[in-house]
A and B are shown apart, each in its own frame.
Chain A
Amino acid sequence: MGVNLTLITPELVVTGLAFVVMIISLLVPKDQKKGLAYLSVFGLITTLVILYLMIDVQGTLFNGMYVVDAFGSFLKMLVVLSSLMAIIMGVQYVEKFITGFVGEFCFLVLFATLGMMTLVSAGDFITLYVALELMTISFIILVGFGKRIFRATEAAIKYLLLSAFSSGVLLYGLTLVYGAAKTTNIDGIMEYIAQGETPPVLLLGIVFLISGFGFKVSAVPFHMWTPDVYEGAPTPVTALLSVASKGAAFGVFMRVFLKALPGNVELWMPVIIAITVLTILLGNFVAIPQKNIKRLLAFSGVAQAGYMLLGLVAFSTVGVSAALFYALMYVFCNMGAFGVVIAFSQAGGSDEIQDYNGLWKRSPFLAAVMLVSLLSLAGIPPLVGFVGKFQLFKAIMEQGYVWLVFVALGMSMVSVYYYLLVAKAMYLKDPKENTPIKVPMGMQITLLATMIITLFLGIYPTPLTNLATQVAKTFF
């Protein structure tokens, strides 16, 4: 049995960690579970270090069902990093609003992380589907487990129904592709397609695959679940859902379409372009009238998913590397913004944007982090969001989609408007009360880190760009 298990060390560490956390959480009393969060954080940092050391490792396991490569390792780092931040920022929130469930929060986040890590390494449709379900089921529980939080149950039911539906669509697509190619292996499908002739059933499968993955990355005709689920879920879970699950689903989207189906790119590219344009347009326009910060960030997330899809549209090394850069930078910006939302709601505030009035008087730090994150998401120059967007636009410009660059650029302008509405509320309006907001220590460090990284990578993006370019060479 020549299975080289060292290739999946990070996955094994996370699996072990999740089970240890689960067992300890069964043994200790309900009110003493905070240590589990420290344990999880420590374990995830270890995983992150292992992943960083393993970035050049390549190999396949279980007859090609599991692929370890630079692309997978990069996205795994993204996922682990987001889970790490979600746990650090979420512990106090969970203790306050969902008392007694810190253990569940930690090990479910870890299981979701495991699912996402496996998802980006899937070399076979079977692995892909199992990983996707592990991720989705953990997230369904996480979305609904704060049942005393207003609307969490509603959000969970919606998420359950829609993800079941989207899994069904995806599975249908996988079946049809399998029916045409007679193999579930991604490399095998590529070889089949290289032979020429595309039967209609394969195209039907591809259309279903696009819809299925579209649900997971919340691209436009399939984005309906996003705002409701984001609004209803506990905020740390929303944060994780918005960055990690999107990043992982996006990774597998890229892997399937760039590895298995590049042979008939001229068939699926028009559909992807249409979805991308719709996503960017609708996400940005619908974000404008939002009154709730979580809904605003949900629609901004839809728009950002559209920008990430531009990397797939470019269909080149530059495009993929730009998309990977964007996905990682999106983690820091969005985690920063959601961190502020978490800290603010812990201090008794609601999620309504008008409650953020005069935030800078109550906590200059929170207001600054929020401002930097939002401006970065909008793509204002000294921040990392600008570099990310610039690279993406450059990549599609190289492929000759000038009109698409104009659409994306115009919509970025629109996005500045609604991001600045929040900034205006925070800085120009007067607060209803003047009590300063206390931010817990771990949260402060995380928020400071996201802010510094956002600034630093905006000024000096070369290390991350080089890494992303190196990783993107996996495909072409």
Chain B
Amino acid sequence: MLVQYTIIGILFLGALAFGAFTIILSRLLQPHRPYPEKLETYECGIKTQGTAWVQFKTSYFLYALVFLVFDIETIFLYPWAVKFQSLGLFAIIEMFIFLIILIIGFWYAWKEGALEWR
């Protein structure tokens, strides 16, 4: 038993050593010549404005979630649509159950005002 746990211990040490090794090695090998432009924050090549710690609307997040609902729906519908004829009635029923579940979720999001920009 101890032998086996020792192997795991060695693995953890190895993982730790690998991380430390790469960081230290790159620090040793890199040329260190900083100048103001190089130290500046990169923002798509334009001059930076303000800090990165800005508040943004959580509505974006809601939109992303609602988008995800349709995204998943599409991903699931594609293979089904391709194999539609050979899968038969059972798959149609299954797909409709899936769609109903998704639509209820979407209905909820709509009703609760996730699609209104406030």
Contacts and interface: CB of A to CB of B under 8 A. Distances in A.
Contacts of B101: 19
25 contacts: A1-B90, A19-B101, A19-B104, A22-B104, A22-B108, A23-B104, A26-B107, A26-B108, A26-B111, A198-B4, A200-B4, A200-B7, A200-B8, A200-B11, A203-B4, A203-B5, A203-B7, A203-B8, A204-B8, A204-B11, A207-B8, A266-B1, A267-B1, A267-B4, A270-B1
Nearest to A269: B1
A100 B75 CA distance: 35
Interface in B2-34: 4-5, 7-8, 11
Interface in A120-167: none
B96 to A, nearest CB: 14
Contacts of A270: 1
B8 to A, nearest CB: 5
Nearest to B107: A26
Interface in A9-58: 19, 22-23, 26
* Residues of A contacting B: mostly: helix
Contacts of A19: 101, 104
Nearest to A23: B104
A273 to B, nearest CB: 13
Given A200-B7, A266-B1, 20 more contacts: A1-B90, A19-B101, A19-B104, A22-B104, A23-B104, A26-B107, A26-B108, A26-B111, A198-B4, A200-B4, A200-B8, A200-B11, A203-B4, A203-B7, A204-B8, A204-B11, A207-B8, A267-B1, A267-B4, A270-B1
Interface of B: 1, 4-5, 7-8, 11, 90, 101, 104, 107-108, 111
A221 to B, nearest CB: 15
A406 B104 CA distance: 55
A270 B7 CA distance: 17
Interface in A352-374: none
Contacts of A198: 4
Interface of A: 1, 19, 22-23, 26, 198, 200, 203-204, 207, 266-267, 270
Contacts of A22: 104, 108
Contacts of A23: 104
Which 8 A-B residue pairs are closest in the complex by CB-CB distance?
A200-B7, A203-B4, A26-B111, A204-B8, A1-B90, A267-B1, A200-B4, A203-B8
Contacts of A207: 8
A88 B4 CA distance: 50
Contacts of B4: 198, 200, 203, 267
Nearest to A270: B1
A321 B108 CA distance: 43
Contacts of B11: 200, 204
B16 to A, nearest CB: 15
A267 B8 CA distance: 12
A267 B11 CA distance: 17
A26 B101 CA distance: 14
Nearest to A19: B104
B102 to A, nearest CB: 12
Nearest to A200: B7
Nearest to A202: B4
B19 to A, nearest CB: 17
Contacts of A204: 8, 11
Contacts of B108: 22, 26
A207 B107 CA distance: 43
B35 to A, nearest CB: 38
Contacts of A203: 4-5, 7-8
B65 to A, nearest CB: 12
A1 B87 CA distance: 11
Contacts of B104: 19, 22-23
A210 to B, nearest CB: 12
A162 to B, nearest CB: 20
Nearest to B100: A19
A52 B90 CA distance: 31
Contacts of B111: 26
Nearest to A268: B1
A89 B101 CA distance: 29
A258 B4 CA distance: 21
B110 to A, nearest CB: 9
A356 to B, nearest CB: 38
B66 to A, nearest CB: 16
A200 B12 CA distance: 12
B5 to A, nearest CB: 7
B3 to A, nearest CB: 9
B14 to A, nearest CB: 12
Most buried by B among A23, A26, A266, A270: A26
A204 B10 CA distance: 11
A467 B7 CA distance: 43
A424 B4 CA distance: 51
Nearest to B94: A1
Contacts of A200: 4, 7-8, 11
Contacts of A26: 107-108, 111
Nearest to B5: A203
